[in-house]
Structure 1
Amino acid sequence: MKKLMLLSVAGMLILSSCVSKKEFTTLQEKQKETQDLLNSATVKLNSCMSDKAAAMARMEGLQAQLADMRKTNEDLINTKGNLTTLTQKGAENLEKSLESLKEKDLKITRLQDALNRKDSVTLAIVTSLKKAVGINDPDIEINVEKGVVFISIADKLLFKSGSYDVTSEARNVLSKVAKVINSKPSFEAMVEAHTDNVPYQKGVLLDNWDLSVKRATSVVRVLEDLDVNPQQLVAAGRSHYVPLVANDTAENRAKNRRTRIVVMPKIDQFYEMVEKEMKELEGQGK
């Protein structure tokens, strides 16, 4: 991240020699907005992953407590035999245990329902994308990792060699992606460009960092032209530092040259809903 910021500043300093002060200031503001969006998306993504892990751990703890209470209840019944022989105190204790079991069951059920709803939304997005883009194309891969939808598009579909201008053929693919993003206005889409490790320097671009960022912003502009709300979009360049495979053959380098569109649902709203329901249940138990 620090390298990206330093290189962005360096690129702006180079460009500043060729543009007016007003244009330079405008570029600075746009760069800051883009960086803020990237930082915000990264923070949200990390927070969501952490919240999900905590929610799963809490659910497992509640399930363990439920199992223990059920075992206790069975032991009470087996020990006393017929419920009619229980003392009044034993009956009251059993009633309290059953009531506690109901509360725990309700908490676990609500938590599982919330998780299932979030998973259903994610699955619906994947299904829509695969139907719109076409799952039989080997150069387009759509999958889900940790609740986030990734659309990976091969470099050859988007750009000509060494270029950051989106091809006319790519616009057809991106128009289908744009349609799905537009159907989810509360979602965010981060365009993440990757290169291989072959050194690059052409025109004002210094290296693969510059190239990856320019390719990401080129795709963002196409999506914006396709009426995607720019507030939903984030542009990010990863250079050659996150390869899929080793850059040791031409075939592998081609695999590493790719652009990923990361569709991120705002699952912080989902976790707020879960927390609210859990607090209400705890209040009812007092």
Structure 2
Amino acid sequence: MKRVIVPTLALVLTLTSCVSKKKFAELEAKQKETQDLLNTATVKLNSCLTEKDALANQIDYLKKNNSDLINSSKELTVLTQKGAENLEKSLESLKEKDLKISRLQDALTKKDSVTLALVTSLKREVGIDDPDININVEKGVVMISIADNLLFKSGSYEVSDNAKSVLSKVAKVINSKPDFECMVEGHTDNVPIKNAVLLDNWDLSVKRSTSIVRVLQKDFNVSPKQLIPAGRSFYIPLVENDTPANRAKNRRTRIIIMPKIDQFYDMIEKEMKNMSK
């Protein structure tokens, strides 16, 4: 009986041992498979975490960028509004300046028209056929140049009777323009002069000028407020003083009829100041 029992027990133990090893191998294989899955999942998890961090950074950047864009848009809106306001102010300023320039041009045009009318009147009164009388416009003023031989004797500052006929016509035009001034310039040649009465060419040119001013005032009732005597000696010649004929051309009296300088330039200065505002 004992012999039968022993082999049977051994067989049972052997079968039990074989089953355990097989189960263990299965479990071991299952564990390896699970570990592989875990490793794969860990790799994927790490990858997802990295992508998450990158996306989070990108989201932060986009949020900041969006905020910057919003702020820039607000600033741009403000700048655009300011730009529009500045543009509108600039346009208004340009319109004002254009108006001031237009007024100034109108004043200059009016002055030129008056000057042209004055020249026409003088040429009609004085005549333009005499070669010793020249009437023209220079620098916006009317100038009458009268040769010395029509006004004075050589080396003298006493106005001749022939000169008075010419001066009466000039006086008529001056009296018709009470808002104008009349400057009388005496010019000589460069031949030195000195005697008991005259010291030099300066003296001669000034005395000739004041002599004509007196005739205009006393004989033809020109207002002394309109008259300005001036002597230029020989320093502004028309031609070189190198021949008797040229010296005769340089001996002359120039009568300049012009708007009152202070009034005219006050107007110009006022307009220029307005333009600079």
Q: Give 1:269 deviation, angstroms.
A: 2.7
Residue of structure 2 aligned with 1:215, choices 199, 202, 208 = 208
The 3-state SS of whatever aligns with 2:131 is coil
Q: Does the C-alpha gap of structure 1 residues 280 and 152 become closer, same or farther in structure 2, counting only changes over 3 Å?
A: closer
1:240 and 2:258 matched: no
* Bigger Rg, which one: 2
State which of 222, 231, 234 in structure 1 corresponds to 2:225: 231
Moved over 3 A (4+): 88-105, 270-283
Map 1:8-27; keep pairs closer than 5 Å.
none
Measured against aligned partners, the alpha-carbon deviations of 1:193-239 in whole angstroms (never above 9, x if no partner) come to: 11111122333222222222221121111111211111211222222
In the aligned structure 2, how far is the partner of 1:231 from the partner of 1:89? 56
Confirm or deny: 8 A CA contact 1:193 1:215 kept in the other structure: yes
Higher RCO (CA < 8 A, seq sep 6+):
1
For residue 183 of structure 1, report the CA deviation from its aligned partner: 1.0
Residues 97 and 275, structure 2, Cα contact 8 Å, conserved in 1: no
Q: State the partner residue of 1:255.
A: 249
Contact between 1:118 and 1:270, CA under 8 Å: does it hold in 2?
Answer: no
Report the AA paired with residue 157 of structure 1: L
Which residue is 2:196 aligned to?
Answer: 203
Question: Is contact 2:100-2:274 (8 Å) kept?
Answer: no
Match of residue 126 from structure 1: 119
Q: Distance in 1 between matches of 2:192 and 2:264?
A: 44
Displacement after TM superposition at 1:93 (Å): 8.8
**1:192 paired residue number:** 185
Q: Which residue of 2 is the match for residue 22 of structure 1?
A: none
Matches within 5 A, 1:259-270: 259-270=253-264
Structure 1 unaligned blocks of 5 or more: 1-87
Higher alpha-carbon deviation: 174-183 or 133-142: 133-142
Q: Distance in 1 between matches of 2:192 and 2:94?
A: 63
Task: State the shift of 1:274 in Å.
Answer: 5.4
Residue number among 120, 126, 129 corresponding to 1:136 in the alignment: 129
Task: Structure 2 unaligned segments of length 5 or more: list them.
Answer: 1-80
Cα distance 1:97–1:235, how it changes in 2: closer, same or farther (>3 A)? closer
Measure the CA separation in 1 of the matches of 2:273 and 2:245: 54
Report the TM-score, using the length of structure 2 for normalisation: 0.62
The 3-state SS of whatever aligns with 2:255 is strand
1:163 match: secondary structure:
coil
Give the letter aligned to residue 138 of structure 1: P
d(CA) in 1 for partners of 2:83 and 2:227? 62
Q: In the TM superposition, what is the alpha-carbon distance from 1:104 to its structure 2 partner?
A: 4.0
Residue 254 of structure 2: SS of its match in structure 1? Answer: strand
Counterpart for residue 50 of structure 1 = none
TM-superposition CA deviations, 1:43-95 (whole Å, max 9, x none): xxxxxxxxxxxxxxxxxxxxxxxxxxxxxxxxxxxxxxxxxxxxx99999987
Alignment partners' CA distance in 2, 1:171 and 1:191: 15
Q: Shift of the alpha carbon at 1:250?
A: 0.6
Q: What's the CA shift for 1:172?
A: 0.5
Q: In structure 1, the residue corresponding to 2:143 is in which secondary structure?
A: strand
Letter in 2 for 1:261: I
In 1, Cα distance between equivalents of 2:132 and 2:264: 33
Identity in percent: 77
